[in-house]
Structure 1
Amino acid sequence: MPKYLFKVKLTVDGLKGLLEEGGTTRREVVERLVQSMGGRLESAYWALGEEDFYLTADLPGNTSAAALGLVTSAAGGVRTNTVALLTAEEIDEAVHQEVDYRAPGA
């Protein structure tokens, strides 16, 4: 199953909800959400810095990852940035694919 990294920034409403419910409750909500989409939450970390929350999850595919980001962002409590993650084996496969490309000016 493909793996995704979600970088999450809380909005003012999201911060208010976090202060009310706490980090553990919000992580449990995210875990149920991922499971409801046929996925598995691998990790969830609160952070200091540009983003407030990072999670990695196995999901059935890109449409599931997009749906997760769209639905949670549309609710207004967060803004998400989704990154598709690749294994070393997938990179090996990519390295061995033939690609017909010419660099600009070459």
Structure 2
Amino acid sequence: MTKYLFQGKYVGEGIKGLMQEGGSKRREAVIRALESVGGSLECIYYAFGETDVVGVFEIPDQPSAAALSLMINSSGAVDLRLTPLMTPEDLDAAAGKTPSYRAPGQQ
């Protein structure tokens, strides 16, 4: 399972819905959405400013994460951004690889 950081901003009718339902009911909706694709919620927090909601969830695969993101964003009520998270061991494995790359404009 991969962990994702999610950040969302409620827009339009989403703001009205959040004010009407409150944070606890929206958390329940997030849990149900995640369970529908085999995922689980680790934490969720509400904020104010540029980001309205932030948290971490686990989900089994990238297609499930993409499907969830597409479904939520297509509602027009939330602008959702997902960031895959890596463990320190994942970064160790990445640092041990030596890919080949030529930067633009270099020979």
> Residue type matched to 2:55 in 1?
L
1:58 is aligned to 2:58: yes
Q: Unaligned 5+ residue runs, structure 2?
A: none
The structural deviation recorded for 1:102 is 3.4
1:34 is aligned to 2:34: yes
The total of aligned residue pairs comes to 106
Distance in 1 (CA, whole Å) between partners of 2:67 and 2:54 is 17
Q: Deviations over 1:17-69 (max 9, x none)?
A: 01110000001110111111101101111012211001211001111111111
1:21 is aligned to 2:18: no
TM-score (norm 1): 0.93
- Give percent identity, aligned residues only: 43
Runs of 4+ in 1 over 6 A off after TM superposition: none
> Residue type matched to 2:102 in 1?
R
> Residue type matched to 2:16 in 1?
K
- What is residue 94 of structure 1 aligned with on the other side? 94
- What is residue 83 of structure 1 aligned with on the other side? 83
Three-state SS of the structure 2 residue aligned to 1:49 is coil
Distance in 2 (CA, whole Å) between partners of 1:52 and 1:70 is 19
Give the root-mean-square deviation of aligned CA atoms: 1.2
Three-state SS of the structure 2 residue aligned to 1:58 is strand
Three-state SS of the structure 1 residue aligned to 2:56 is strand
Distance in 2 (CA, whole Å) between partners of 1:26 and 1:87 is 28
Q: Unaligned 5+ residue runs, structure 1?
A: none
Distance in 1 (CA, whole Å) between partners of 2:80 and 2:10 is 9
Distance in 2 (CA, whole Å) between partners of 1:99 and 1:70 is 31
